[in-house]
Amino acid sequence: MQNRRFALTLIGDLNVEFSTRIEQQFASISHDYLSYSPIQFSVSGTAANLARAAANLFSQVNVLGCVGADLFGKLIISGLSAPNISLYIAERTDCTTGLGLYVRDAGTSSTHGARLLLIDQGANKSVDSDFIIERASPIADCDVFFVDGYSLLAHPRRGASEAAMAIASANGATVVLDLVPHDAHLYFRIEDLDGWFKHVDMVIAEVRTIRGIFGMPTDPEVHELSTVYETLDILVNRFPGKTFHLRFGFGNIDKSMVCGVDLNPLLLDNG
């Protein structure tokens, strides 16, 4: 691909995921249940997923994270092998590689059935300040730095990710924060956003997540444009000079409202 430009450095989860679908609704299962269903295996996690997609758009992609010194860790490293992907990954001997178990049911409560996602964070949560100090170069030298909310859930990874954002911002990178998980309002406060957004240029979040953090009423899925505009106004007034990418609609993801500095909001259909 000839038009790839710029260097992206990202930090997030590196997991091995097993996913499947069952023919029953979760709510109908009251006893032991056996399902003969195809099980898929993949290298996943926010860092792995973004790195593979970004490799088609950026000339250089740097991946920061931790895995266990085990077979799954080696599979992640192998699965991210690409000419323009550089891995700054530590192999931890004191913990295992992050694992994910993804199960969807046959229900009709959402577009593709309800989702059960179980995560063993494993080595992901071992990212600390020493890890960042040892890998400061790809953070300071990148054009875009990406971090997600999973990296901010708990220390020591939270403090390490905050330090990484500060390094990237101080060196002129565009800092992007994806404010996950969906129930981030249970973990983060407005005061947390005040601190993080000092270093952040672009925020990606669900409308319901932002409303939850601000203590505003919200439905499980946000569909009304008036609600989206109301939420955007609150963000722009509190955090001027930032770009916001707000997701909403079915599954809180099939539509987006993007508002950049001095630009009118742009409505996107992600379907």
The per-residue pLDDT for range 200-255, each reduced to its tens digit, is 999 999 999 999 999 999 999 999 999 999 999 999 999 999 999 999 999 899 99
Q: What is the mean pLDDT of residues 101-112?
A: 79
pLDDT tens, residue by residue, 119-165: 999 999 999 999 999 999 999 999 999 999 999 999 999 999 999 99
Q: Within 10 A of 253 (CB to CB), how many other CB atoms are there?
A: 15
pLDDT tens, residue by residue, 159-204: 999 999 999 999 999 999 999 998 999 999 999 999 999 999 999 9
Beta bridge partners of 99: 16, 120
Residue 209 phi/psi, 5-degree rounding, is: -65, -50
Percent of the chain with pLDDT over 70: 98
Taking the C-alpha atoms of residue 11 and residue 269, their distance in angstroms, rounded to an integer, is 27
Identity at 243, one-letter amino acid code: T
Burial of 239 (0-12, 13-18, 19+ CB in 10 A): middle
Q: What is the mean pLDDT of residues 82-108?
A: 95
- What pLDDT does 150 receive? 97
- What pLDDT does 1 receive? 47
Q: Which residues, 6 or more positions from 109, have their beta carbon under 8 angstroms from its beta carbon?
A: none
- pTM given for the model: 0.94
- Does the pLDDT value for residue 267 go beyond 60? yes
- What pLDDT does 110 receive? 55
pLDDT tens, residue by residue, 141-154: 999 999 999 999 99
